[in-house]
Amino acid sequence: MKEMVTSTDYRHMSIRALGLHAQRIGKVFAHPATWAKLIRERRWLRPRLRVYPTKAKIGVRADRPNAVWHVDCTILKLLDGSKAYVHAVIDNFSRCILAWTVDDRINPGSTCRILVAAARHLGATVAETDVFMDGGGENVNSEVDGLFDVKPLRRILAQVDVSYSNSLIEAWWRSLRHQWLYLNSLDTLATVRRLVGWYVREHNEVLPHAAFDGQTPDEIYFGRGEGVPDRLARRCHEARQKRLERNRQATCSRCPRTGQEELAA
C-alpha cells in the first residue's frame, strides 16, 4: 500500500481512485477510507508537488518620488445595481495616492483630470515621470494622448510596452475594497465619493506602511518621516526593557520571596 501511495506512477490518482485501482489489479483489497486513514497516520507523502514557473518577486521600483506613477480604474457595483468607476494615480516610490475621482461611467476625461491633478505635485522638475497604465479605452484616446505630447510625463502600457503588470495600484484597490468600502453600504455615488475620500486621507496621512518601517506614504513622498524608524526602534527597546523589569519584579504564591520581602511582610 505504501509503495503505491508514494509511487510516481499513481500520483495522478485520487485516494479513492487509487484504492479502487488496487482492487482491480488484485494488489490491495481495502476501503478507500482505510487508505486515507493509513496515509494520515503513517504520514506517507504523495509525490504531487506542483512545479510552478519562476515569477519575478519584485516589480517596478522607483528610486525617488514622481519617478513612476500608476494609473488605473476599478468598478464598484452599488446596491441599486448601478456602477461607480473609481480612477486613481499612485506614486510608486511612496505609495501615496496623488489624485482620484469617482464617476458613474467610463470617461476619458477622468484619466485626464487625475493626471492633471497629480502633475501639480511635479513643480519645476525636469526629470521624466513614467506613467504605467492599462491599454483600456479610458487611457488610450485622443484626450489622454495630448497629455503625453509634452514632457515630463511618458506613457508606458503595462504588459504591452513592458512585461510588468499594473499590480501596485491593483494591490491598493484590494485594500480599498476589502478593508473599507465593503464594510459600508454602497448605496449612492455620493457615498462612494465620501468613503473613498476618507480612505485616501487615512492611507496617505495615518496608515503606516510596512515597507517604510512605520512611515506613512505622505511622509515618504514629502520627505518628512526620516526620524520615524529610529524613534520607533528606540521606543520598542524601552518598552522591552520595562517589560523585562516588570516581569522580574512579579511574584506569585509558588515563587520564593527574597529576605527583604519577607521582612517587609
Q: What is the pLDDT of residue 122?
A: 84
Asked if residue 259 has pLDDT above 60, the reply is: no
Q: Which long-range contacts (CB under 8 A, 24 or more apart) does 231-235 make?
A: none
Q: Pick from 185, 207, 229: which residue ends a domain?
A: 207
In-domain check, residue 203: yes
Whether residues 76 and 195 share a domain: the answer is yes
Instruction: Say which range, 59-73, 150-164, 178-192, 218-232, has the weakest mean pLDDT.
Output: 150-164
pTM of the model: 0.72
CA 140 from chain centre, in angstroms, equals 27
Domain that holds residue 200: 68-207
Q: Pick from 155, 183, 207: which residue ends a domain?
A: 207
In-domain check, residue 107: yes
Pairing of strands 68-77, 83-91: antiparallel
Q: What is the pLDDT of residue 57?
A: 67
Q: Is the peptide bond before 256 cis (omega within 30 degrees of 0)?
A: no
Residue % of the chain over a pLDDT of 70: 92
Whether residues 81 and 160 share a domain: the answer is yes
Number of domains in the chain: 2
Q: What is the pLDDT of residue 253?
A: 66
Residue % of the chain over a pLDDT of 90: 54
Distance separating alpha carbons of residues 203 and 30, to the nearest angstrom:
58
**Cβ contact 39:48 at 8 Å:** no
